[in-house]
Structure 1
Amino acid sequence: MPRLEELDPAPAVVRPVLPRGAAPGGVQIVRVHDELLDGTISTHQFGGVRVAVVQGEGPRELIRPVRPTAPAGEGVLRVLRPLTGAVWAVQDDRHGAVRAPQLICLDSTRPYKASMQGDFRLVDVTVAHRLVGLTAAEAAALTARPWSGGEGLAALLSSLLEGLGRHGREVATAVDLLGGSVVGLTAALFAERMREGAEDPRIARQALMLKVQSSVRARLAEPGLNAVTLARSHHVSLRYLQKIFQEHGISPARWIRDERLARCRSELADPLLDHLPVALIGERAGLYGASHFSRLFRDRYGTTPREYRKERGTP
């Protein structure tokens, strides 16, 4: 079997994509991050999460090549949950095989391959990175690892996906209500797996860092948001919180301030928000006091907020 880095997406090298219902032996090249898989029979969209039920005849191969065959977009994590048959997946120098009720995850931003050797039916969930607070590099710890669907959060998500796969059409009027559950369980499962998969304290600290950063971005407008309140809300000591930020070359206070200023810069560059006073832009990100906001913004970007808005500076 060729190594992933040896796979070439050129049409002269790979077999053509077979249409739904074609003869066994099909190969599908996944051209865009969230491309639907051949054999999809139903889909449900929940914002940045899509759940698709896929059925096909094996053997079948899905290949995300080394060189993307379409412009890059927002990357997604792809969670596969077999209903019947088995899925074999390889990515990031790992491989794993799963059957119901197990789950396995792939990342669209790097090469991967999934194979089904016989007839199959599965649920394919694509989740935007931003919804689970992970970058592509951080998600590499989760890919191509079989997850038991028999206990804990994995069991809850597996059961939910099985229900959508088997009865989605019958509950079509209520299926949108399940979107929040899919998002929440998927994000919680990823966070849990990062903690459980930590073979050293560094990875555990990275998982906590992701959680803290996500919390900060959701609370920027709170004037009382600081390192002390962050440490308290995440049940760690202030010293420990400072340590994990120091590993990234920054302090918690500086990171919070930079995020606030970055939010302000983004809103000042948006013509749709020109009706908002500059001072209000600062307050929306937790920077109160027009002169204070202007001074911090000038120190960070070399221009005042008002001048930046007028000139439409680029990020």
Structure 2
Amino acid sequence: MKEIPDKNILLFRSCLVSVEYPGVESSTKFVFDKLGIDYAISEKQTCCTGLGYYSDVFNQIDTSAIGARNFRIARELGRPNLVMMCATCYAINKKSVKLLNKRDDLRQHINQLFDENGLGHLKYEKDDLKPTENIFHVVDILYNKIDEIPDKIKYDLSDYTIATHHGCHYCKVHYEDTVGGVRDPKVLDELVEACGCATIGWYDHKRATCGTGFRQRYSNPDLSFTATADKMNAIEDEDVDILVHLCPNCHIQFDRYQHLIGEREGRKFKAIHLNIAQFIALAMGGDLDKVIGAKAHTTPIDSIIKELREVKK
């Protein structure tokens, strides 16, 4: 397994997390604090360009230039380990590092742009960061601390039927770097199990997309929601109470549109949707409003979790 850091971390803020589910960020901080993980956030960090990049608004040069700027800021802060709360931030930033290290022409072009705009101090040098040593998703960091999680658990969530959704941009972009592999992804299942809960494991459509496809949600909604319905029907068939995932875009697709897709399918879907950081934070005793951010959810968390039972120790 790749070496995973627990210090000198720059927690990379996500547009979708901040706007849609701020509880993912507060939950991540809560869990990191509980596990003694050294991290910081920088106001200088900017967007990864994910929504624009995958909608063909930003090209690879623009995206790599913005990445290079963020990478230099991380180095200047002495926090070269960038940790993403969003699977798209993870996929894009890792790709940008790979390209900047491999493509001398791209790196030189971007550095020239920095020079021409008075940003020479942000120039990216080859191997300033390395894709497998400095770019991570939150799940990587949590998995590295999996043996420490059980001692921090306050609430017993084992009575709920739980399934996981691992997300395309974590599992299907950088195959070789995915913790636990991609054919039957289990990193989320194992983190849930560390909280004292079982998951249903493999189920029909476990590896399938959430259906978002970024612009597909708007340009081809029927195709998008058909893919989402496949997943929702599958978890409803398994009587799932909680779907745990790791990407805010997946979160939006499942949580915001569940009721509409239920009407489309003529079926009432009951599952609630939690990011893995929210799930662990909840199990560790995080406040539903101040930490988990329950009020930002469209499908009410308390429609399933009506009371929390403390773990007997």
With the length of structure 2 as denominator, give the TM-score of the two structures: 0.28
Higher RCO by CA contacts (8 Å cutoff, separation 6 or greater) = 2
- The structure carrying a bigger strand percent of its residues is 1
- The structure carrying a bigger helix percent of its residues is 2
Kindly name which structure, 1 or 2, has the bigger radius of gyration based on alpha carbons: 1
